[in-house]
Amino acid sequence: MKRLLGMLIASVCWPTAALAADQAPSAVGDWVTADHEAVVEIAPCSSGLCGTLVGLRHDHPPGEIPRDKKNPDAGKRGTPLCGLLMLGSFKPDSSNPNRWVDGWAYDPDSGNTYSGQFQLDGPNTLKLRGYVGIPLFGRTETWTREGPEPHNRCAAAGG
Protein backbone atom coordinates (compact mmCIF):
# COMPACT_ATOMS: atom_id res chain seq x y z
CA MET A 1 0.00 0.00 0.00
CA LYS A 2 2.84 2.43 0.84
CA ARG A 3 4.47 1.69 -2.51
CA LEU A 4 1.20 2.33 -4.36
CA LEU A 5 0.68 5.58 -2.45
CA GLY A 6 4.25 6.65 -3.24
CA MET A 7 3.77 5.93 -6.95
CA LEU A 8 0.49 7.83 -6.96
CA ILE A 9 2.09 10.87 -5.32
CA ALA A 10 5.05 10.71 -7.72
CA SER A 11 2.78 10.49 -10.74
CA VAL A 12 0.77 13.52 -9.58
CA CYS A 13 3.80 15.64 -8.65
CA TRP A 14 6.12 14.76 -11.52
CA PRO A 15 4.15 16.47 -14.33
CA THR A 16 3.99 19.67 -12.27
CA ALA A 17 7.77 19.66 -11.76
CA ALA A 18 8.33 18.93 -15.45
CA LEU A 19 6.07 21.81 -16.47
CA ALA A 20 7.87 24.21 -14.15
CA ALA A 21 11.23 23.22 -15.65
CA ASP A 22 9.87 23.77 -19.18
CA GLN A 23 8.55 27.27 -18.48
CA ALA A 24 10.59 30.11 -19.91
CA PRO A 25 12.20 32.53 -17.45
CA SER A 26 10.07 35.54 -16.69
CA ALA A 27 10.96 39.21 -16.81
CA VAL A 28 7.69 39.99 -15.05
CA GLY A 29 8.32 41.60 -11.68
CA ASP A 30 9.83 44.64 -10.01
CA TRP A 31 13.28 45.76 -11.16
CA VAL A 32 15.69 48.24 -9.57
CA THR A 33 17.41 50.45 -12.13
CA ALA A 34 21.19 50.49 -12.50
CA ASP A 35 21.56 53.73 -10.55
CA HIS A 36 19.18 52.53 -7.79
CA GLU A 37 17.10 55.67 -8.36
CA ALA A 38 13.90 53.89 -9.42
CA VAL A 39 11.89 50.67 -9.38
CA VAL A 40 10.09 49.63 -12.57
CA GLU A 41 7.33 47.03 -12.55
CA ILE A 42 7.38 44.91 -15.71
CA ALA A 43 4.04 43.28 -16.43
CA PRO A 44 2.01 41.98 -19.37
CA CYS A 45 0.08 44.64 -21.29
CA SER A 46 -1.96 44.67 -24.49
CA SER A 47 1.16 45.21 -26.63
CA GLY A 48 3.46 42.64 -24.92
CA LEU A 49 5.44 43.51 -21.79
CA CYS A 50 5.40 47.04 -20.40
CA GLY A 51 7.15 48.77 -17.51
CA THR A 52 5.72 51.32 -15.10
CA LEU A 53 7.67 53.43 -12.63
CA VAL A 54 6.49 52.28 -9.17
CA GLY A 55 9.37 53.42 -7.01
CA LEU A 56 11.44 56.57 -6.95
CA ARG A 57 14.23 57.73 -4.71
CA HIS A 58 12.83 60.20 -2.24
CA ASP A 59 15.50 62.88 -2.29
CA HIS A 60 13.13 65.64 -3.43
CA PRO A 61 11.81 68.29 -1.04
CA PRO A 62 8.90 67.17 1.18
CA GLY A 63 5.56 67.69 -0.51
CA GLU A 64 7.11 68.02 -4.00
CA ILE A 65 5.89 65.49 -6.53
CA PRO A 66 8.56 64.71 -9.14
CA ARG A 67 7.20 65.46 -12.62
CA ASP A 68 8.04 64.49 -16.20
CA LYS A 69 9.62 67.92 -16.76
CA LYS A 70 11.65 67.01 -19.86
CA ASN A 71 8.85 65.38 -21.84
CA PRO A 72 8.97 66.66 -25.45
CA ASP A 73 5.18 67.10 -25.26
CA ALA A 74 4.73 70.29 -23.21
CA GLY A 75 1.25 69.12 -22.21
CA LYS A 76 2.73 66.11 -20.39
CA ARG A 77 5.42 67.94 -18.41
CA GLY A 78 3.20 68.10 -15.34
CA THR A 79 2.64 64.33 -15.27
CA PRO A 80 3.93 62.71 -12.05
CA LEU A 81 6.87 60.37 -12.62
CA CYS A 82 5.33 57.79 -10.30
CA GLY A 83 3.03 55.65 -12.39
CA LEU A 84 4.69 56.74 -15.64
CA LEU A 85 4.83 54.14 -18.42
CA MET A 86 8.56 53.84 -19.21
CA LEU A 87 8.75 50.61 -21.24
CA GLY A 88 6.34 49.23 -23.80
CA SER A 89 5.62 46.76 -26.59
CA PHE A 90 8.34 44.22 -25.74
CA LYS A 91 7.69 40.91 -27.51
CA PRO A 92 9.32 37.52 -26.83
CA ASP A 93 12.22 36.72 -29.17
CA SER A 94 11.30 33.49 -30.94
CA SER A 95 14.94 32.39 -31.03
CA ASN A 96 15.76 33.07 -27.35
CA PRO A 97 13.29 32.54 -24.45
CA ASN A 98 15.35 34.87 -22.23
CA ARG A 99 15.04 37.85 -24.60
CA TRP A 100 12.33 40.39 -25.50
CA VAL A 101 12.61 42.68 -28.54
CA ASP A 102 10.88 45.38 -30.60
CA GLY A 103 9.98 47.52 -27.62
CA TRP A 104 10.56 51.10 -26.61
CA ALA A 105 12.07 52.75 -23.53
CA TYR A 106 11.37 56.29 -22.32
CA ASP A 107 14.03 58.15 -20.33
CA PRO A 108 12.43 60.89 -18.23
CA ASP A 109 15.87 62.34 -17.40
CA SER A 110 16.33 63.35 -21.05
CA GLY A 111 12.78 63.21 -22.43
CA ASN A 112 13.96 60.81 -25.13
CA THR A 113 12.28 57.60 -26.25
CA TYR A 114 14.48 54.82 -27.63
CA SER A 115 13.94 51.52 -29.37
CA GLY A 116 14.65 48.74 -26.92
CA GLN A 117 15.25 45.12 -26.12
CA PHE A 118 16.04 43.31 -22.92
CA GLN A 119 17.40 39.97 -21.86
CA LEU A 120 17.48 38.03 -18.63
CA ASP A 121 21.01 37.24 -17.51
CA GLY A 122 20.02 34.83 -14.73
CA PRO A 123 16.77 34.98 -12.78
CA ASN A 124 17.56 38.29 -11.04
CA THR A 125 19.47 40.29 -13.65
CA LEU A 126 17.97 42.08 -16.63
CA LYS A 127 20.05 43.72 -19.36
CA LEU A 128 18.03 46.55 -20.94
CA ARG A 129 19.37 48.04 -24.18
CA GLY A 130 18.04 51.31 -25.53
CA TYR A 131 19.13 52.43 -28.97
CA VAL A 132 18.50 54.68 -31.96
CA GLY A 133 18.24 52.91 -35.30
CA ILE A 134 19.98 49.61 -34.63
CA PRO A 135 21.05 47.97 -31.34
CA LEU A 136 24.71 48.62 -32.20
CA PHE A 137 24.09 52.34 -31.55
CA GLY A 138 22.86 52.17 -28.00
CA ARG A 139 23.55 51.67 -24.34
CA THR A 140 22.89 48.75 -22.01
CA GLU A 141 21.88 49.06 -18.38
CA THR A 142 21.82 46.22 -15.89
CA TRP A 143 18.78 46.10 -13.64
CA THR A 144 18.35 43.78 -10.67
CA ARG A 145 15.18 42.12 -9.47
CA GLU A 146 13.88 43.78 -6.35
CA GLY A 147 14.37 41.68 -3.24
CA PRO A 148 11.80 40.85 -0.58
CA GLU A 149 12.10 44.29 1.03
CA PRO A 150 10.60 46.89 -1.33
CA HIS A 151 12.46 50.16 -1.43
CA ASN A 152 11.95 53.55 -3.01
CA ARG A 153 8.19 52.94 -3.40
CA CYS A 154 6.08 55.80 -4.71
CA ALA A 155 3.66 57.29 -2.24
CA ALA A 156 -0.04 56.96 -3.00
CA ALA A 157 -0.10 60.65 -3.96
CA GLY A 158 2.41 60.08 -6.77
CA GLY A 159 5.63 61.13 -5.09
Q: What is the pLDDT of residue 120?
A: 96
Examine the pLDDT at 108 and tell me if it is beyond 60.
yes
Which residue in 106, 123, 122 sits closest to 71, CA to CA?
106
pLDDT tens digits, one per residue of 131-159: 998 888 899 999 999 988 877 788 754 45
Question: From 1.10.3470.10, 3.40.50.1980, 3.40.50.2300, 2.40.128.520, which CATH number describes the 26-145 domain?
Answer: 2.40.128.520
Which residue in 98, 96, 102 sits closest to 26, CA to CA?
98
User: What is the SS3 assignment for 15?
Assistant: helix
Average pLDDT over residues 31-41: 94
Cα gap 38→131, rounded to integer Å: 20
- What are the residue ranges spanned by the domains of the chain? 26-145
pLDDT tens digits, one per residue of 70-94: 999 999 999 999 999 999 999 999 9
Question: Is the CB of residue 54 less than 8 Å from the CB of residue 151?
Answer: no
pLDDT tens digits, one per residue of 4-25: 333 333 333 333 333 344 565 7
Q: What is the pLDDT of residue 22?
A: 52
Side-chain half-sphere CA neighbours of 85 within 13 A: 12
Q: What is the pTM of this model?
A: 0.80
